[in-house]
Structure 1
Amino acid sequence: MMRTNIRTNTSFRIKKKMINLSAIQNPLKSKIGLWIDGKIFWVKNGTEKLIQAEAISIKINQRNIHSKIRFFDIFVTNHSEKMKQLKLIVLNSCEKFAKDDLTFISPIEKVIYHLARRTIHLVNGQMNGTLLNEYTVQPVWNIYTDKFWDCQKKGTLKYQPLSHGPSNSLFTINMNIPASKTCKANTWIISGETKEELLRLNQVVLKTH
C-alpha cells in the first residue's frame, strides 16, 4: 500500500554545534484523538476526554524516560458491553513553521522524520508490539480542511510520503477493545542531531516499552 522512491538508508547530520534539547525553540507538538465510525474526536484541552455517545474515554499520560524523548502512554477504555473497533490518530507539527522544513516517511524504518530549524525529530508509535498501521505527511492546509483522508468513512489516510514547508505528520493505530476493557498504546518523539542517534534511541524504546 505504501510506496515511495525516497532513499532513506543514507545518513544525514545537522552540521551545527551541539544543541541543548531542553531549550529547543521549535519542538514538535502532538495532537491526539480517536477515529470512531467515520468521526474524529480530538483531545483538545487537558489530557482526558469522555465520548459519551460512543461510551469511550481516552486518557493521555506523558512520561520522562530520556532527556531527548517525549513519551506518551495513551489509555482508551470501552465502557460499553460490546467490542469497539476504532483507530488512535496522532498528529504532529512544529510550533513554528518555516519554508525550508522537511517532513517525510521512511517506509524501511517505519518512522516519520521532521527536519526543522537544525533539529531532527523522529516520530513513532505502537500498541502491543504492533507499529503504525497507516501514516502520511500533509501540508498544513490539508489538515485544517480534513483533506488528509483517502476515505474518512473507512478511516484510511491519504498517503503522501514527503512534504516541504509547513507540514504535519499523521498516523493511526487500530484498536479493537473488548467490552469494559482498556487498551494502551504509546507514541513518542525523539529529537537530536543525527539519524543514527535517533534510530538507536528508537530501538531502545521499542525494546523497553
Structure 2
Amino acid sequence: MSAQAHETAPVRDRVLALVTSFDPRQLATAEELLERLAETTSPSTHNLTVAEVSALERFGVTTTMAEQQSHLNTTTQSLLAERRVDTISLSATEVASLLHVSTARVRQRAADHTLLARRHSDGWHFPAFQFFDGDELPGWSTVAKEIPPATPLTLVERALTWPSSLLTIDSVEHSVASWLQAGGSHETAAQIMQGELSRAL
C-alpha cells in the first residue's frame, strides 16, 4: 500500500461506515452528493473545503480535511441548498396532527396545491417554512396556489421570508410571511409571491 493510500484509508473507511447510519430520507441526497463529488476533477476528500465539509456533515459525514479550493460546482451547491430545505419538512401524519385534520385531508391539500409539498418514495414532504407557531401561515392556502409546482423550494423560502417594499405596515417593510402573520391581505401576499417567483425563475 502506498503512503497516500495508507493515509486515506481511515477516511474512506469512516465515510463508508457512516453511509450505513444515514436516515433513510437522506440516502438519495447522500448518493447524489457523493456522485457529484466523484465527478469533480479531484475527487479525493483531501480537497474538501470548509463549506464542503459542512455540507457533508449535514448528512453525517465528518472530516477535518478542509484546506483546498472548493471543487463543488454550482449545481451541487444548489442541490445541497434544495435538499436542506426539503429535509426540514413534515410528513403528512405530522401535518395532520398539527392542523387537527385527517391525513387524507392533508394529502388532498397537497394535491390541490393549497399546501406546498413534494412527493417522495416515502410519501409527501411538507416544507416547515409554511408553518408558524403550531399552525399554517394565515391565508397560506391562497398564497400556495400561486406557486408553480416545480418551483425550487429555496426560491419559495426566499420569496416568503425576504422583506418587500410592496408590503409595508407603519412604514416597515415586511416579508410575505410576516405580512400574513400581521393580518395583511392574503390576495396581496399571493400577488407579491407570484411576482417574486416570476422574476426569479
Instruction: Compute the TM-score of the two structures, normalised by the length of structure 1.
Output: 0.25
* Larger gyration radius, structure 1 or structure 2: 2
Higher RCO, 1 vs 2 (CA within 8 Å, ≥6 residues apart): 1
Instruction: Compute the TM-score of the two structures, normalised by the length of structure 2.
Output: 0.26
Tell me which protein shows more helix as a share of its residues: 2
